[in-house]
Amino acid sequence: MKTNPKIEWLSDVQVFAVNRVPAHSDHEYFETVEEAKSGKPMSMRHVLNGDWKFHYSINPAHRPEHFYKHDFDSSVWGDITVPGHIQLQGYGQPQYVNTMYPWDGIADIRPPEIPTDHNPVGSYVKTFTVPANMQNKPVYISFQGVESAFYVWLNGEFVGYSEDSFTPADFDLTPYITEGENKLAVEVYQRSTGSWLEDQDFWRFSGIFRDVYLYTVPEIHVFDANIRGELDETYTKGTLMADLKFLTTQPAPSKVTAELYDAKGNLVASQDGEINEGASSISIAVDQPQLWNAENPYLYQLLIHIYNESGSLVEVIPQKVGFRRFEMIDKVMHLNGERIVFKGVNRHEFNCYTGRTVSREDMLWDIKTLKQNNINAVRTSHYPNQSYWYQLCDEYGVYVIDEMNLETHGSWQKMGQVEPSWNIPGNKPEWEDIVMERAVSMFERDKNHPSILIWSCGNESYGGEVILNVSRYFKKVDPGRLVHYEGVFWTPDYRETSDMESRMYAKPADIEEYLEGNPDKPYISCEYMHAMGNSLGGMHKYTELEQKYPMYQGGFIWDYIDQSLIKKDRYGKEFLAYGGDFEDRPTDYGFCTNGIVYANRELSPKMQEVKFLYQNIKLVPDFDGVSIINENLFVDTKDYVLEYSLLLEGKQIYCGQLEVVVKPQSEGRAEFNFPADIAAAPGEYSIQTGFKLKEKKVWADAGHEVAFGQYVFEVKAEEQPAVKGELRVVHGDVNIGVHGRDFSIIFSKQAGTLVSLNYAGREMIAQPPAPLFWRATTDNDRGFAQGFESGLWFAASLARKCTGIEVKEESSQTSIGFTYKFSISTEVEVKVTYSVLGDGSLHVKSTYHGAQNLPQLPIFALSFKSSADYDQLEWYAMGPEENYSDRSKGARLGIFKNQVTDNLSGYVMPQESGNRTGVRRLIVMNKKGQGIKISAISEPLECNVSPYTAFELENAQHIYELPPVHYSVITVAGKQMGVGGDDSWGAPVHNEYLIPADQDMEFEFRIERI
């Protein structure tokens, strides 16, 4: 055992845990039954969170080397908050990189070397007095998370050393404790050998970022508990197994009793255990147990009582237990005998103010958000999370892939190319112990959580014998779970490592090709739908595979939450920042903004699509009723009420409720009770159906909608008579004016467009309409180089030439048409015709004539500006959130209201946002209700009303770079290409959601005053 600390340990692959207490389960324990049942924090634990004295050094040479000694005065140091990252508390700077190592281009090193010139050191000091209830007892300290390596001293004596940022490190302080004040000193290094194994796609921080606490143990203590609720192959007979390991300063306890209670507190069974050589095993048979699953996360309460030789109770362990069986049957993963589909997300622990230091409130918000949006699974990308997260997944019902803290991406993939010449851990035996220790630490801590179905051997670390041995370890110690590792895709010789085929960002066609090839393993997408910025287009192509292929078992969206940090601009205003904003170099800039939830924990518009495509109940209404497809595996629909409503032109004219019970994995039907002839009036109708919670759940209030479906139909109206009204046409030298009662519309022959739309003295045109072919590039657009491939449409949107003006005067209307040519091609032509009717309404028709050998169009639209006073919007369209041609499955037809500024979605880098498909009409008005209505004439439109033009958005890298709002930019489109999302570094939008440049197109709409 090494007892003299050495700085060389930081780069010694064989030294990663010195004097550390062996890993053990995360169970709680109490002195009395009442305490155990109270739900209060453990009395035998004393938290050391809060203010610590702190010194920051840019590298080891500048550190206060002897700060741990008794006579070293640290009182003049500054303070730091624990838990928390050093770089978010005024010291150093955060750095974001994805695959490359953070020292790439700075330090010319190879593993296990570490940078010496820039290896920040945090020196922490905390003084404490041992609480009265811990005095004269063993005292331990637990560091729940420290990045990336640290040394510990107490009262000037060296205690221990540890690496692995994301699993606990416990040390025995008993030999060093003194009466009165104790001085705890911790020296934290940002870089260590472990840093080579922690090349995750995240911000690079350091420091004590999870809880620190002291704890004591009773005279007889269950050091480790392995507790599982097992099922036989019929899923009707359960066995509770509890294997206990004791830490004791007394002779073996005379008695161990286990009591199992159901969720209502009724005693189900009890069992006494025997002690042999510091261990005990208890087995309790349970007939017809309630089973645990995400749909009904039924948990039993186990109480383990430990008695000493005199028969006195010394320890009580409460443990939630879920009975479930997870297994592979005929090459398909099954839970409790049913084929499972993971409707998942990858989740980093993240808070925009505190980084990976997340609170219980953050985690509660997250778990409720997952449940409310039909997300049933989470992958802990790419490290073990705080213990509380797994408790929440147990209690709320979320399936977990628990991933060990391993990623060596930059050691084998450089700029997207596979180059494993110095890959670690690979087949290097010297790396096996440090890697295996991370697997052991995760397993031992987390093994008692029923929500964990799969162990993951880490992320993007290529393959080899070392990781294969990790997989073999998991299978040996825990045959009741399966093992995942995606890296075998790159190293097929090690396919044994993973029980399932797991790929990242495979296209739907690639997945189908695998599934059609009679594979030997089921398929999951451990990462798919790269949700960077305005993304998630085409997600339905993946979820449609769920019913087509039994061996397709779902996937995990990348990812849950944007990793954006709060920063202040030069004027003191907070904004969400990404890589490079902290002068961090090297950096991968905005690639950290991939969430379906914004970093400030607001839902992004993308969540609307996720919730719909992940719903377990499908509702397919028609005029008479609704077909109900219950794809839940275990629960029927009795907890929900079926609401149905009939809307005419977006306004509800009837609403009803039904109670319908459809068994799991079954289909049912409910008939509506509409009054006779309710749909007799002409117009567009929609029938909307939703299943809503009857009663409040822990994750949502009563009335929360869990499933939705709609049906749209039309009752034809008689043709309306022509609009009457007297028009006066004035042909000026430069302008053509069309005037009528309380309106004046002017067209400029010089500008070649409509220049004035004036209703009752209110001018609606601040900048004239012009053909628009460009949208502000999204992150995905940039990823597949849309600016390079289709940039000529950017130029075409800025420069056009009016080559013809046609004027046609009739008794009922006057039409002015403008023909435009573009320098990008002599063949491309756009004609915009404005027809003024007698009531002042304006019929607009835009026709595009295409050409061969041109790249796709991002959008085909007309765009103009109105004053920003016209900022109130009412949509009869698909909504309520923004949607696009390839991301509109979750949108519903209705009347929605918002403001222009609401359509600048919270994507950290400004880009296209705020679009609505299926627009029947759009009202743009001021706060007095004055303005214009834009209505589709033949086919529904796509529209956007934004405070900024596409070009203003294009030129800004941050929201704060955008100018003050002066206009409402109204864009009316016949079509906009989809946003895509298969990945954000080259995947194109699927063909059916593109706009080929060689096709002829047209759209038309009407503008009228309100």
Report which DSSP code applies to 469.
H
- Those residues whose C-beta lies under 8 Å from the C-beta of residue 908, and which sit 6 or more positions away, are 533, 562, 564, 576, 577, 578, 590, 593, 599, 958, 959
User: Tokens 């030789």 label which residue?
Assistant: 309
Q: How far apart are CA 273 and CA 276, in angstroms?
A: 10
Dump the DSSP string for 240-268.
EEEEEEEEESSSPPSEEEEEEE-TTS-EE
Cα torsion for 997, 998, 1000, 1001, to the nearest 10°?
-20
Whether 245 contacts 204, CB under 8 Å: no
Identify the sign of the CA torsion 978, 981, 983, 985. positive
Element (H, E) at 225: strand 220-231
- What 3-state class would DSSP assign to 312? coil
- Catalytic-role residue among 527, 546, 912, 942: 527
Whether 223 contacts 444, CB under 8 Å: no
C-beta atoms surrounding 307 within 10 Å: 16
- What 3-state class would DSSP assign to 356? coil
Query: Cα–Cα–Cα angle for 676, 682, 688, nearest 5°?
Result: 65
Q: How far apart are CA 944 and CA 878, in angstroms?
A: 12
Alpha helices in 500-615 (DSSP H): 508-515, 540-543, 545-548, 606-613
Tell me, what amino acid is at 312? S
Whether 42 contacts 240, CB under 8 Å: no
Is 460 among the catalytic positions?
yes
Expressed in angstroms, the distance from the first to the final Cα of the chain is 84
Residue 848: φ, ψ to 5°: -115, 130
- What 3-state class would DSSP assign to 782? helix
- Catalytic-role residue among 460, 501, 546, 1004: 460
Report which DSSP code applies to 613.
H
User: Tokens 């945090």 label which residue?
Assistant: 122
Whether 17 contacts 152, CB under 8 Å: no
Whether 124 contacts 82, CB under 8 Å: yes
Is 695 among the catalytic positions?
no
Strand partners, 867: 967
Tell me, what amino acid is at 555? G
Q: Which residues of 839-848 are buried (b: 16+ CB within 10 A; e: fewer)?
A: ebbbbbbbbb
Whether 443 contacts 388, CB under 8 Å: no
- What 3-state class would DSSP assign to 456? strand
Strand partners, 845: 833, 1004
How many angstroms separate the Cα of 129 from the Cα of each of 132, 139, 178, 179, 546? 9, 12, 9, 8, 58
Strand partners, 237: 287
Tell me, what amino acid is at 296? N
Q: How far apart are CA 459 and CA 447, in angstroms?
A: 20
Q: How far apart are CA 829 and CA 804, in angstroms?
A: 11
Q: Which residues of 461-488 are buried (b: 16+ CB within 10 A; e: fewer)?
A: bbbbebbbbbbebbeeebebbbbbbbbb
Tell me, what amino acid is at 233? E
Residue 170: φ, ψ to 5°: -110, 145
Angle between helices 387-396 and 360-372 (to 10 degrees): 30
How many angstroms separate the Cα of 3 from the Cα of each of 17, 159, 434? 12, 8, 19
Any idea which residues carry the catalytic annotation? 460, 527
